[in-house]
Amino acid sequence: MAVFNKFDSFVEAVAEKVHNLGSDQLTIALTNTAPVAGNSLLANITEITYTNLSTRNLTTTSSAQSGGLYKLVVSDITLTSTGGSTGPFRYVVVYNSTAAGGPLIGFFDYGSSITLLSGESLTVDFDQTNGLLTIQ
């Protein structure tokens, strides 16, 4: 899996109660345009068309702290293209689809553009041990 890059605004959004990472619906957006650390809302991202794509909603499996270290763990998700191609995209962006405006959390860079043809899948493999993100 590519390395997680947080958006700068995520730090402030957590401090100001924008996110409830344990219960809000987190979703992924796909883009072929490099996200900028200063982006803050989903509208700042140039998304691809999802007409042929399966669900993009993430499932939170653990949202807890231990010894002052908070860890958010989400299940892997398999994106499947049906009825046509999906892409190209290079970046997988995680955002909060519950909070107003879709505040951005972070993104993964796959290094090159990906196009899923009809029937093809991509598994976004989140770290089940260290979590999607930690806050200390």
Give 26-50 pLDDT, tens digit per residue: 999 999 999 999 999 999 999 998 8
SS3 breakdown of the chain: % helix, strand, coil, rounded to 5?
A: 10, 45, 45
Two structure tokens written together for 93? 């962006």
Phi (first) and psi of residue 94, to 5 degrees = -100, 130
Average pLDDT, the chain: 94
**Predicted TM-score of the model (pTM):** 0.93
Instruction: Compute φ and ψ for 108, nearest 5 degrees.
Output: -120, 140
Is the confidence at residue 18, as pLDDT, over 90?
yes
One-letter amino acid of 2: A
**What residues have CB less than 8 Å from 5, skipping those under 6 apart?**
35, 37, 106, 107, 108, 109
Which of 93, 34, 73, 28 has the alpha carbon at shortest distance from 55?
28
Q: Please tell me the predicted confidence (pLDDT) of residue 1.
A: 59
CA distance 91 to 35: 8
Section 68-93 average pLDDT: 94
Backbone angles phi, psi at 93, to 5 degrees: -105, 135
Report the length, in residues, of the chain.
136
Position 52 scores a pLDDT of 85
- Using an 8 Å Cβ cutoff, are 127 and 1 in contact? yes
- Is a pLDDT exceeding 90 seen at residue 51? no
